[in-house]
Amino acid sequence: MPQVYFLCTGNSCRSQMAEGFARQLLGPTWRVASAGVETHGLNPQAVRVMAEVGVDISGQTSKLIDPDYLVHCDLVVTLCGDARDRCPVTPPSVRKVHWPLADPAQATGSAAQQLAVFRQVRDQIRQRVAHLAQTLN
């Protein structure tokens, strides 16, 4: 069974959202996971904006990169420069893709403005995962 890994710094927002969309769009023929070079806990705003589009990520947890899972992946997607730069070395057989997306957890302004950033990043991730699903399936 092919597998994909979504990586970001703290595995709290972007990679969690990507995992949620990939589970939905890639279906049961793919193993899907996310992780971080650190663990920052699942961000409640990420859970909230995903629920708005019908994807429940509330049961997911923030995890560190699993080296065994990583080296057996068909595809690794990094969602920030930090994860790309700090990702452990993978075999040449692992395809790597980088999606440089803003960290919604760093958004400033009012609560509504911050939530708008989470929604914008969520929508960018959904579009990229949908395109990925079309090319992989």
Map out the domains of the chain as residue ranges.
Answer: 3-136
pLDDT for the residue numbered 137 = 66
Write down the catalytic residue from 4, 7, 8, 50. 8
**13 a catalytic residue:** no
pLDDT, tens digit, 9 for 90 and up, residues 54-71: 999 999 999 999 999 999
| pLDDT surpasses 90 at 86 | no
3-state secondary structure the chain: CCEEEEEECCCCCHHHHHHHHHHHHHHHHCEEEEEECCCCCCCHHHHHHHHHCCCCCCCCCCCECCHHHHHCCCEEEECCHHHHHHCCCCCCCCEEEECCCCCHHHCCCCHHHHHHHHHHHHHHHHHHHHHHHHHHC
Rounded Cα–Cα distance for residues 84 and 53 (Å): 28
Half-sphere exposure (CA, 13 Å, Cβ side) for 103? Answer: 15
Write down the catalytic residue from 4, 87, 121, 129. 87
| pLDDT surpasses 70 at 85 | yes
**8 a catalytic residue:** yes
CATH level 3 topology of 3-136 = Rossmann fold (3.40.50)
Helices then strands (H, E): number in the chain?
5, 4
Confidence of residue 136 (pLDDT cuts 50, 70, 90): confident
| pLDDT surpasses 90 at 45 | yes
Write down the catalytic residue from 22, 46, 76, 80. 80
pLDDT for the residue numbered 89 = 72
Rounded Cα–Cα distance for residues 118 and 48 (Å): 9
**73 a catalytic residue:** no
> Mean pLDDT over residues 15-35, rounded?
95
Q: Record the pTM.
A: 0.94
| pLDDT surpasses 90 at 16 | yes
